[in-house]
């Protein structure tokens, strides 16, 4: 059974317990690695400048910027990582979303922001999951 590395566990520990609980379940079914949880304001500003992150329309913040010390977003990739394999990220997202529904956690995936099941997003953030 796949297990998180200590680095992944440390990153997941910066996230809301619902996200930690969800990916504790996901890792039992599909190997994956936690890329990032909580993000500093400085790093968020840099990623936004580079067009690699978007902000919530209302709060003008990323859900990676902690609220009450916790990140409400997490970036996760199927392991081993192949950034060019878009289908693999979509397949993995299906696993994550299925488990989220099963445990009753409402999340949004960065490959389908509007949740319509069509992956034509202009901003396709393949590893991004956030609490709704």
- Nearest residue to Zn ion, scored by beta-carbon proximity: 128
C-beta closer to Zn ion: residue 1 or 60: 60
Question: For residue 108, which of 118, 93, 86 has the smallest C-alpha distance?
Answer: 93
**CB contact at 8 A, 127 and 75:** yes
Residue 21 φ then ψ, to 5°: -65, -45
Distance CA 49, CA 40 (A): 14
Q: Which residues bind Zn ion (CB under 5 A)?
A: 73, 75, 128
Least Å from the CB of residue 63 to Zn ion:
8
C-beta closer to Zn ion: residue 52 or 91: 52
C-beta closer to Zn ion: residue 1 or 55: 55
């Amino acid at each position: 059974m796949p297990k998180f590395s200590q680095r992944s566990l440390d990153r997941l520990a910066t996230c809301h317990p619902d996200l930690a609980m969800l990916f504790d379940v996901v890792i039992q079914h599909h190997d994956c690695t936690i890329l990032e949880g909580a993000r500093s304001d400085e790093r968020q500003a840099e990623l936004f400048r580079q067009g690699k992150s978007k902000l919530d329309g209302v709060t003008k913040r990323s859900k990676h910027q902690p609220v009450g010390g916790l990140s409400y977003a997490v970036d996760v990739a199927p392991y081993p990582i192949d950034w060019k394999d878009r289908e693999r990220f979509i397949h993995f997202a299906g696993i994550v979303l299925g488990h989220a529904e099963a445990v009753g956690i409402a999340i949004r995936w960065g490959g389908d922001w509007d949740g319509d099941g069509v992956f034509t997003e202009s901003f396709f953030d393949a590893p991004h999951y956030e609490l709704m």
